[in-house]
Structure 1
Amino acid sequence: MAGTPEERIAELGLELPEVVAPAGSYVPTARTGSLVYTAGQVPMVEGKLTVTGKVGAEVTPEQAAEQARICALNALAALKAEIGELSRVVRIVKVVGFVASTPDFTGQPKVINGASDLLGEVFGEAGRHARSAVGVAALPLDAAVEVELIAEVS
């Protein structure tokens, strides 16, 4: 893969947003040694959610996967604010995705692929990660998806 992660984001027609302000008593990232943990990111775009509700009811799996992609972009913005340049990412170690879904919806892994696929497009092999995709009853602000990540940095 040629270019910096920021250049690859631009090639995808995306841009890193401003870091989403915490909605509670926490910080957007926490660093310990060479690991940076992001807080859970909901799919805020310019300060608001564009999609709300449960996957399997008001939200389609395809819409939710796009929302997961936005969550990952927000997590990358928080990560960049912590480390300065995304080229300092050695690898994405782990992604945890939460999907607000109806009790009968079982496609959480496909929804969180929206985040995982973006990380692969941005970081290549270094974007491959361990992952959990969990269905939950509700998320903050009635978001359909929330994503957090752990990155190893230099």
Structure 2
Amino acid sequence: MSTPEQRIEELGLVLPDVVPPLAAYVPAVRTGDYVYTSGQLPLVGGKLGVTGKVGAEVSAEEGREQARICAINALAAVRSVVGDLSKVVRIVKVVGFVASAPGFTGQPQVVNGASELLGEVFGEAGTHARSAVGVAVLPLDAPVEVEIVAEVRA
């Protein structure tokens, strides 16, 4: 069976270096058997590929792809704390924030981009509890932000 990093590579993705914080926080914190990530934006090479509100400037499908990027960045944050994604026992919780145009109600489908990626990488261990929340605006005018909680072994 392949490792999570190998599955990421098989998906044609690259696990980036951890995204540096934009303010006074750290990308991830471990306490006991859990790693909590800070909210991760869909930054690639330090830049947002898309900005604006989902349901206006950003389509729901684009938002879904951006949520997928957020999940990859969250996994990079987890790896920065534990050293190897093979130490992840389970993804416990995902919280997705979607900068939403008035009347947009497709937040769950947007955040599916992150949830489905975690399932592809971890299989059954990627199945998690989740919240998908519509918000007025996100940092840097990002369309989506995702944070995760992962259970890890020593």
- Is the TM value for this pair above 0.5? yes
CA distance in 1, matches of 2:41, 2:105: 20
Q: Give 3-state SS (helix, strand or coil) of 1:149's partner.
A: strand
Q: Which residue of 1 aligns with 2:91?
A: 92
Matches within 5 A, 1:1-12: 2-12=1-11
> Map of 1:10-89 to 2, 5 A cutoff?
10-89=9-88
Offset at residue 153 of structure 1 (A): 0.2
Task: Quote how far apart the aligned CAs of 1:65 are.
Answer: 0.1
**Uncovered stretches (5+) of structure 1, i.e. residues with no partner:** none
Shift of 1:103: 1.8
Code of the residue aligned with 2:96 in structure 1: it is G
Aligned to 1:140: 139
Query: Quick one: distance in 2 between partners of 1:6 and 1:31?
Result: 20
Q: Tell me the secondary structure at the aligned position of residue 79 of structure 2.
A: helix
Structure 2: 5+ residue stretches without partners: none
Partner residue, 1:104: 103
Q: CA RMSD, aligned part only?
A: 0.4
Which whole-Å CA distance do the structure 1 matches of 2:131 and 2:102 have between them?
Answer: 18
* Other structure's SS at 2:40 match: coil
Q: Which amino acid aligns with 1:102?
A: A
**TM-score under structure 2 length normalisation:** 0.99
Percent identity of paired positions between Structure 1 and Structure 2: 72
Q: TM-score, normalised by structure 1?
A: 0.99
Aligned residue pairs total 153
3-state SS, counterpart of residue 93 of structure 1: strand
CA distance in 1, matches of 2:29, 2:104: 32
